[in-house]
């Protein structure tokens, strides 16, 4: 069973879409998405620097657009029927919602445009940040976070938890980490998936009310708790709430294993989720689609599993 996974914020790198735009078909599709969101994603995917594409309001539409381009090629020619399921990490859940047929591409890009801008505004209201904590005892870490007023934002599996909150509290955690743990500050604009994103949730609830979701036509796992969601409207509600609640990617990967996953394919901008799978799903073949040159190998992996 092949599971397609869609990455979240931080997976973008300068120029990562340049190989895709060498194909006129991909270039035309990206221009259409750019026009729909009112952001020059062609420039941001090719010539913009790292600081520019780190901006949440730019990064999120850029990542989802790249995923949509990949999915269109990956799931064409009857391959969609051979896929065992799909899931996304954080903003990648918007990509996954489109891949599963819950949202049209147009609704997905409209939602992610509002998500990115609302989260950027919430992050600008209070100076906050995020850090990755590698290793150590989870219970000890969670107790320490509670003492410092920090929150777990991403349970990524493989001994990695991303935490978020006030900058001084993150600095205090780095100075005195739990035993056998390393704390690595992340270059992000705010404390995503925490209480600091509450204003964004309120805005996205109104955006979600204007959408017309369908029920998924592919098995779809949620970041909420790793469970399968069969109701499209429910999944959109989870997309809204996810902005201020932890991403349980560890539970998603546990669900993949329980479902009998035999291969993982990550859509562009790929790499991060394949890396997590190699640690948490040892022995399961995985493939990161970074450029169109990676598509034939992905097609082969799908064909071998069917």
Phi-psi bin for 158: left (phi > 0), alpha (psi -120 to 50), beta?
left
193 catalytically annotated: yes
Structure tokens at 147: 């003492």
90 catalytically annotated: yes
Axis crossing angle, helix 105-125 with helix 56-74, rounded to the nearest 10: 160
Is residue 193 within 8 Å of residue 90, measured between CB atoms?
yes
Q: 34, 90, 117, 244: which is the annotated catalytic residue? A: 90
Q: 193, 244, 255, 286: which is the annotated catalytic residue? A: 193
Structure tokens at 131: 């850090």
Taking every pair of C-alpha atoms in the chain, what is the biggest distance, in angstroms?
54
Residue with tokens 């109701």: 231
Q: Hey, which residues are catalytic here?
A: 90, 193
């Amino acid at each position: 069973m092949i599971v397609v996974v869609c990455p979240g914020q931080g997976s973008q790198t300068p120029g990562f879409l340049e190989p895709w735009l060498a194909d006129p078909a991909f270039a035309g599709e990206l221009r259409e998405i750019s026009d729909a969101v009112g952001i020059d994603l062609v420039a941001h995917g090719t010539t913009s620097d790292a600081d520019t594409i780190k901006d949440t309001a730019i990064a999120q539409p850029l990542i989802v657009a790249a995923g949509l381009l990949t999915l269109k090629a990956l799931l064409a020619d009857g391959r969609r029927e051979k896929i065992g399921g799909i899931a996304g990490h954080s903003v990648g859940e918007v990509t996954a919602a489109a891949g599963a047929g819950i949202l049209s591409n147009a609704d997905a890009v409209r939602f992610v445009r509002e998500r990115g801008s609302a989260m950027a505004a919430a992050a600008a209201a209070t100076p906050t940040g995020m850090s990755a904590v590698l290793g150590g005892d989870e219970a000890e870490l969670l107790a320490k976070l509670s003492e410092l007023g920090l929150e777990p934002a991403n349970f990524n599996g493989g001994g990695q938890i991303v935490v978020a909150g006030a900058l001084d509290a993150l600095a205090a955690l780095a100075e005195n980490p739990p035993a056998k743990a390393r704390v690595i500050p992340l270059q992000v604009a705010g404390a995503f998936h925490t209480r600091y994103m509450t204003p964004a949730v309120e805005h996205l609830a109104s955006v979600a009310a204007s959408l017309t979701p369908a029920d998924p036509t592919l098995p779809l796992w949620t970041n909420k708790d790793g469970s399968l969601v069969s109701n499209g409207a429910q999944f959109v509600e989870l997309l809204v709430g996810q902005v201020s609640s932890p991403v349980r990617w560890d539970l998603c990967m546990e669900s993949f294993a329980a479902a009998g996953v035999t291969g993982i394919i990550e859509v562009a901008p790929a790499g991060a989720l394949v890396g997590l799978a190699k640690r948490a799903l040892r022995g399961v073949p995985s493939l990161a689609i970074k450029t169109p040159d990676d598509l034939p190998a992905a097609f082969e992996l799908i064909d071998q599993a069917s």
